[in-house]
Amino acid sequence: MNFGDSIQTCLRKYADFNGTASRSEYWWFVLFLVLGSAILSVFSDKLSLVFSLLTLLPSFAVAARRLHDIDRSGWWQLIGIIPLIGWIVMIYWLVQPSQPNRYGAGTATTA
């Protein structure tokens, strides 16, 4: 999946927490969020805040689908509340390759 396809897919599945998301889909979307917020903050912090709020739900949804792709519940995102250790665990899980899972056919390749 490329950058444009990832953004299109994540925004089309705005609040869809079902199914799976490939590693490339997740990380391209994260790059879009970081770049979008950074570019908008150059113009206005309020624009950046609005962008971040508008993309909050799809970022949770794609993370849940990404966790599904490695056969974990989307609720595991809550481990990110734990400072440092939770963030390390989440990043470790989010970079894992696709695995057989109970959430549906994996859409991912090893990319």
- Cα within 13 Å of Cα(67), Cβ side: 19
**DSSP 8-state code for residue 73:** -
pLDDT digits (tens, 9 = 90+) for 2-52: 999 999 999 999 999 999 999 999 999 999 999 999 999 999 999 999 999
Of the pLDDT bands very low, low, confident and very high (cuts 50, 70, 90), residue 1 is confident
Please identify which residue in the block is written with the tokens 């481990």.
79
pTM: 0.86
**Residue 77 one-letter amino acid:** Q
pLDDT at 98: 85
- Contact of 70 with 104, CB cutoff 8 Å: no
CA pair distance 66, 43, nearest whole angstrom: 32
The candidate with the shortest Cα–Cα distance to 19, out of 110, 104, 86, is 104
